[in-house]
Amino acid sequence: MSFQGFSQEKAKNEIIIHKDLKWSERMALSIIKRAPQARQIDNNEKPKWDYKLGLVMTSFENLYKKTNNPIYAAYIKEYAETVINDSGEILNYKLEDYNIDNINAGKMLFDLYSKTNDKRYLTAIKTLRKQLETHPRTHSGGFWHKKIYPYQMWLDGLYMGTPFYARYTVEFDGGKDLNDIALQFEQVQKHTIDKKTGLLFHAWDESKQMPWANKETGTSPNFWSRSIGWYMMALVDDLDYFPKNHPKRKELIQYLNEISEAVAKFQDPSGLWYQVTDTGSKEGNYLEASGSAMFVYAFAKGVNKGYLPSKYKKLAEKGFDGITQKLITVDPDGEIHITQVCASAGLGGNPYRDGSYEYYINEKIKTDNSHGLGPFILAAVELDK
């Protein structure tokens, strides 16, 4: 099925979302109904190369592998053709920005290249790999989050950069960079962990210059569920590429077990997790969809792959039930929506984001934001829901 000229009106009329379909397909078809071209997700007016759309494309890839329904593969391909021209140049991408977020959407290109043998996808893959070659690093070897955020590692960046890097090194370089990928996790583990809770702070500034940074440790002041979710998804996805005999594999599995144990302690009786992970129902805090879905996905995949004990499958099921019961709404025509998604959060920048509790709880909350859509599908596919 091609999406060329697949209009909003046509999508509304032609896509039927049966309630007996699995949640994964109900959500994917709802997305296509609302946004016949993937670039329209999040109400984007123009096409753009975007980590959030890359996240949704990854979820569609997993769904396609599970269902073999060509509608999902066509949706990915149409987006790729929109943002990569015939020469393999990536729309609105600048290597010299050294933004780790820009790597994430590159993950969809590997399967596209192997299926189509279209050289433009290979050119784009090589461009993104080139960025990592010269991407600035902390003195201890961690990728900066962005050139505009010098000497900073954010948990988000592990998901943005390392799964692409891991697949690249295994498929093109015989796995020679797996130690460098493990180093990224070692740095985050060493510098962001809170000894008391076992949770990871959102970010670390090696220079300790940022006003948000703890003057002794360099960490930001709070635990943000989605940032920890990014980190956990990066772990379970990167482990796909670490062979059983790789010396760093055990260490990464250990990190996954430690953070899973810490996160499990803060699961609300509803099955969900709060925006600020450790403060429960403190005034202003709320049960947040994207972080909850990411934890569910990481727990479920961790158990399915044998990295985590089976008890985490039960916690994942409980979390998924919490999402569908409390955060999903269903229209009369069967279209579904995910609510209570934090639209965006970060540190520094202009206007300045100080990482305070008040900052995290006051960021915009949206319905059907891509940060929630992708992880919901990933979690549903992993749990076969």
Q: Supply the DSSP symbol for 208.
A: -
State whether residue 45 is helix, strand or coil.
Answer: coil
Reading the block at residue 186, the tokens are: 């070692």
Phi and psi dihedrals of 328, rounded to 5?
-105, 135
Asked if residues 143 and 187 have their Cβ atoms less than 8 Å apart, the reply is no
Cis before 351? omega within 30: yes
CA angle at 225 for the pair 219 and 226, rounded to the nearest 5°? 100
State whether residue 205 is helix, strand or coil.
Answer: strand
Amino acid code (one letter) for 143 = F
Q: In which residue are the tokens 């930001």 written?
A: 220
Amino acid code (one letter) for 50 = D
Asked if residues 220 and 204 have their Cβ atoms less than 8 Å apart, the reply is yes
Report d(CA 324, CA 358) in Å as an integer: 28
Asked if residues 80 and 121 have their Cβ atoms less than 8 Å apart, the reply is yes
Asked if residues 296 and 231 have their Cβ atoms less than 8 Å apart, the reply is no
By the 10 Å C-beta count (0-12 exposed, 13-18 middle, 19+ buried), 163 is classed as buried
Report d(CA 187, CA 129) in Å as an integer: 21
Q: What residues are annotated to the active site?
A: 156
Report d(CA 41, CA 23) in Å as an integer: 19
224: β partners:
276
